[in-house]
Structure 1
Amino acid sequence: MRIQRNRSILVGLLAGTLAVVVPSSVAIAAADDIQPSTPQTFSELSQPSPDVKMTPDYAQAIGRMAYIWGWPLVNMQNRRATITQAPQPSLMHGVIPVAPMNRLAMLTGYIKPTETFIACPNQDVAYGLGYFALKGNPAVIQVPDFGDRFWVYAMYDGRTDQFGTVGKPYGTKPGFYLLVGPGWQGTAPKGISGVIRSNTEFANVVPRVFMDDTDEDRAAIQPLISQIVAYPLSEFDGKMKTVDYSKLPSLGDAADTSGGETQWVVPEKFFDQLGDVLDRIPPLPGEEALYAQFRQLLAIADKDPAIKKALVQAAIDTDKSVIRPFLQWEHNGVPAGNGWNRSKNNAQWGVDYFDRTGTARSNLLDNRPAETQYFYTDFDSGGNKLKGDSLYAVTFPKGQLPPVRGFWSLTLYNDKHLFHQNDLERFSLGTKNKMLKYNPDGSLTLYAGAKSPGKDREPNWLPAPDGDFSLYIRAYWGKAGILDGSWQPPKVEKIE
Structure 2
Amino acid sequence: MHIKPPCSLLAVCLSIAAGNAAAINFSATPAEATSIAREAYLYGFPVVEMYKTLYTQAVDTQGQNFKAPFNQIGNTAMVFTPRDTAFVTPNSDTPYSFLWMDLRTEPLVLTLPAIEDGRYYSTQLIDLYTQNFAYLGTRTTGNKGGNFMISGPGWTVDKPAGIDAVIPSESAIAYGLYRTQLFDDKDLAKVKHIQRGYKVQPLSQFLGKSEPAAAPAVNWPAPVADMSDSPELFKYLNFMLAFAQPQSSEAALRERFKKIGIEPGQPYNLTELTAEQRKALEDGIAAGKAEFAQFKKDKVDTHEISSGDLFGSREHLHNNYLYRYAGANMGIFGNSAAEANYIGYFVDNQQHPVDASKHSYTLHFNKDALPPAKAFWSLTMYDGKNKLLVDNPINRYLINSRMLPDLKRNTDGSVTLYVQHKAPASELQNNWLPAPDGPFYGVLRIYMPKPEVASGEWKMPLLTPVVSQTPP
TM range (shorter): 0.7 to 0.9
> Does the aligned pair in 1 maintain the 2:26–2:259 contact within 8 Å?
no
Of residues 78-87 and 297-306 in structure 1, the stretch that sits farther from structure 2 once superposed is 297-306
Secondary structure of the corresponding residue to residue 169 of structure 1: coil
Matching residue within 122, 133, 152 for 1:181? 152
Q: Which residue of 2 aligns with 1:322?
A: 288
Matching residue within 80, 83, 93 for 1:111? 80
Q: What is the deviation of 1:184? A: 1.4
Q: Which residue of 1 aligns with 2:206?
A: 236
TM-score by length of 1: 0.76
Sort the Cα spacing of 1:414 and 1:314 in 2 relative to 1 into closer, same or farther, 3 A: farther
Secondary structure of the corresponding residue to residue 37 of structure 2: helix
Q: CA offsets, 1:389-413, max 9 Å, x none?
A: 3221101101111111011111111
1:344 aligns with 2:309: yes
Separation of aligned partners in 1, 2:87 and 2:274 = 30
Question: Relative contact order (alpha carbons < 8 A, sep ≥ 6): 1 or 2 greater?
Answer: 2
> Does the aligned pair in 2 maintain the 1:325–1:331 contact within 8 Å?
no
Q: What is the deviation of 1:471? A: 1.8
Of residues 301-310 and 143-152 in structure 1, the stretch that sits farther from structure 2 once superposed is 301-310
1:167 aligns with 2:137: yes
Sort the Cα spacing of 1:188 and 1:235 in 2 relative to 1 into closer, same or farther, 3 A: same
Separation of aligned partners in 2, 1:153 and 1:51 = 40
Q: What is the deviation of 1:155? A: 0.5
Superposed, which structure 2 residues align to 1:355-394 within 5 Å?
355-389=323-357, 390-394=359-363
Sort the Cα spacing of 1:444 and 1:53 in 2 relative to 1 into closer, same or farther, 3 A: closer
Of residues 202-211 and 68-77 in structure 1, the stretch that sits farther from structure 2 once superposed is 68-77
> Does the aligned pair in 2 maintain the 1:330–1:341 contact within 8 Å?
no
Q: What is the deviation of 1:105? A: 0.8
Matching residue within 66, 88, 101 for 2:40? 66
Q: Which residue of 1 aligns with 2:190?
A: 220
How many residue pairs get aligned? The number is 417
Q: Which residue of 2 aligns with 1:15?
A: none
Separation of aligned partners in 1, 2:138 and 2:196 = 18
Q: Which residue of 2 aligns with 1:42?
A: none
Amino acid at match of 1:347: G
Matching residue within 408, 411, 424 for 1:453? 424
Separation of aligned partners in 2, 1:344 and 1:306 = 39
Matching residue within 384, 393, 396 for 1:426? 396
Sort the Cα spacing of 1:299 and 1:263 in 2 relative to 1 into closer, same or farther, 3 A: closer
Q: What is the deviation of 1:431? A: 1.4
Sort the Cα spacing of 1:341 and 1:179 in 2 relative to 1 into closer, same or farther, 3 A: closer
Superposed, which structure 2 residues align to 1:82-231 within 5 Å?
82-85=56-59, 92-93=63-64, 96=65, 98-148=67-117, 149-172=119-142, 173-212=144-183, 214-231=184-201
Q: What is the deviation of 1:454? A: 0.8
Of residues 175-184 and 300-309 in structure 1, the stretch that sits farther from structure 2 once superposed is 300-309
TM-score by length of 2: 0.80
> Does the aligned pair in 2 maintain the 1:158–1:200 contact within 8 Å?
yes
Separation of aligned partners in 2, 1:494 and 1:193 = 51
Secondary structure of the corresponding residue to residue 222 of structure 1: helix
Separation of aligned partners in 1, 2:50 and 2:462 = 35
* Identity in percent: 27
Of residues 417-426 and 299-308 in structure 1, the stretch that sits farther from structure 2 once superposed is 299-308
Sort the Cα spacing of 1:327 and 1:57 in 2 relative to 1 into closer, same or farther, 3 A: closer
Q: CA offsets, 1:22-81, max 9 Å, x none?
A: xxxxxxxxxxxxxxxxxxxxxxxxxxxx98964333223222221121211232234324
Query: Cα RMSD (Å) of the superposition?
Result: 3.0
Sort the Cα spacing of 1:334 and 1:183 in 2 relative to 1 into closer, same or farther, 3 A: farther
Sort the Cα spacing of 1:84 and 1:380 in 2 relative to 1 into closer, same or farther, 3 A: same
Separation of aligned partners in 2, 1:75 and 1:311 = 24
Which structure has the greater CA radius of gyration?
Answer: 1
Q: What is the deviation of 1:299? A: 7.4
Sort the Cα spacing of 1:194 and 1:222 in 2 relative to 1 into closer, same or farther, 3 A: same
Sort the Cα spacing of 1:133 and 1:208 in 2 relative to 1 into closer, same or farther, 3 A: same
Separation of aligned partners in 1, 2:186 and 2:164 = 31
Separation of aligned partners in 2, 1:303 and 1:439 = 62
1:417 aligns with 2:384: no
Give structure 2 stretches of 5+ with no counterpart.
1-23, 209-224
Separation of aligned partners in 1, 2:285 and 2:262 = 22
